[in-house]
Amino acid sequence: MALFSWPLVSFYLYQRLPLAKATLWSILGAYLLLPKGTEVDLPMVPPFDKVTVPNLTAFLICRFVLGRRVPLLPAVPAAKVLMLLYIISPFVTALLNPDPVVTGQTFIEGMKIYDAMAIVIRQQLFILPFLLGLRFFRSAKDMESILLVLILAGLWYSLPMLFEIRMSPQLHNWIYGYFPHSFQQQIRDGGFRPMVFIGHGLWVAFFIMTTLLAALTFHRIRRPSIRQLSNGMVIFYLAVVLLLCKSMASFVYAVIGAILISFIRPIFQARIALIMVLIAMTYPISKGLDWFPTQTIIDLAAEVSEERAKSFAMRAHNEEMLLDKANLRPWFGWGTWGRNRIYDPVLGRDISVTDGRWIQVIGMFGWVGLIAEFGLLVLAVRNSSKALRFLQSHRDATVMASVTLLLGMNVLDLLPNNTMTPWTWLLAGAVMGRAEQIRMDRAVGVRQSNIVSNKS
């Protein structure tokens, strides 16, 4: 089975590559290649899937094969508090949800201590890439490795993408024997969105957008990504592939990112990334207080496309229904197993759509879980923005700002989509780890300067 062959792939990568690059390829490769929706549910442990298997494998290899210690809690005090909340709050959620959910013909049993333990373990497994990034991505070279791996992965992955654009998204079905999502959603403008093994055409488009911005960053610092191809050729090719993905959101992200990377100073790029993550953090609050101008946006969207206006209205309606239910148990949520969703009062069938990550988290784990998860991401971007002020190398600052911008876009995209992946956590950990190293280097430099001043 593909899932259980991945540890062998990861072991090979860690034997052949530097630790940081092996971690990048192990986590990103699993996201791009392993089947979506397949899981092996064993007794007493969380399900093994394309998230938990590569995360656990990378951690175990680093710790027990390479002998590299990986702290289970960050040294940064604020990050430590948020991570403890992230891991422990679902345990409280399970304890507060022993009652069954009964709606029409639907019966979902209450949560038990067994469920509480399983959720805590799954949360810890899900966030392992954050700890790996925090521990092993500390240098400017490590930041460049992130962009290089993205570019190479994007060029390689574009081949099956182009195949599916022409022949329809069938590779997941041919290789793994099933289709993991709605085929209808992959049809757009008389053609197809590629899905490959990621699970949805929108997520594939978002991935290729990040590779395009990585290539633009290499062009900005005048570093070749591939010896045989100029950066200009790589950028043009990836831009064409992105257009063929037929995703307006990813195209807008690409345009904004290209402008920022090409013309805006790194420190301001990081501040814009910080604004992005703060928007993602405050959006649920504005929705809960009914401050968000939903109807105004629907009216503006209708002037551009009636179809997009209907899509946004449907999404907004579902968010409001789900948020109303979440507010019945606001602090720690309703728990897992679909307890947070809306069901037909007579037939009991699920009538809700939970596209955005935020509405899923707040429904399952409440405001405490939402603040813990999004707070860690906001903190990573904030620390990076502060650390950039102390980088004297324009090249290092450009790369750091670009990686921070990619993280900021990913966090902002968690509002309409559930694009939270191990790669997201790895980026967040890498950005925070690099920022912490910059702070430590500056502290050492200040101390040495004071010693020299005292001697003189």
What DSSP assignment string belongs to 320-384? HHHHHHHTTSTTT---STTTTS-B-TTT--B-----SHHHHHHHHHHHHHHHHHHHHHHHHHHHH
Give the other-Cβ count within 10 Å of 85's Cβ.
19
Q: Is the dihedral of CA 392, 393, 394, 397 positive or negative?
A: negative
Looking from the CA of 287 toward its CB, the CA atoms found within 13 Å total: 24
DSSP 104-124: TTEEEPPP-HHHHHHHHHHHH
Q: What per-residue confidence (pLDDT) applies to 236?
A: 96
Q: What per-residue confidence (pLDDT) applies to 1?
A: 66
User: What is the distance between the alpha carbons of residues 217 and 210, in angstroms, rounded to a whole number?
Assistant: 11
Q: How far is CA 343 from the centre of its chain?
A: 28
Please give the chain's pLDDT, 456 residues, in tens. 678 899 999 999 999 999 999 999 999 999 999 998 888 777 666 778 899 999 999 999 999 999 999 988 888 899 999 999 999 999 999 999 999 999 888 899 999 888 888 888 889 999 999 999 999 999 999 999 999 999 999 999 999 999 999 988 889 889 988 888 777 777 777 788 899 999 888 899 999 999 999 999 999 998 887 777 888 999 999 999 999 999 888 999 999 999 999 999 999 999 999 999 999 999 988 887 778 787 787 777 777 777 777 777 888 888 889 999 999 999 999 998 889 999 988 888 888 888 889 999 999 999 999 999 999 999 999 999 999 999 989 999 999 999 999 999 999 999 988 889 999 999 999 999 999 999 988 877 666 666 665 565
User: What is the distance between the alpha carbons of residues 161 and 164, in angstroms, rounded to a whole number?
Assistant: 5
Q: What per-residue confidence (pLDDT) applies to 447?
A: 65
User: What is the distance between the alpha carbons of residues 224 and 242, in angstroms, rounded to a whole number?
Assistant: 21
Residues in contact with 338: Cβ distance below 8 Å, sequence separation at least 6, in sequence order: 108, 350
User: What is the distance between the alpha carbons of residues 288 and 319, in angstroms, rounded to a whole number?
Assistant: 10
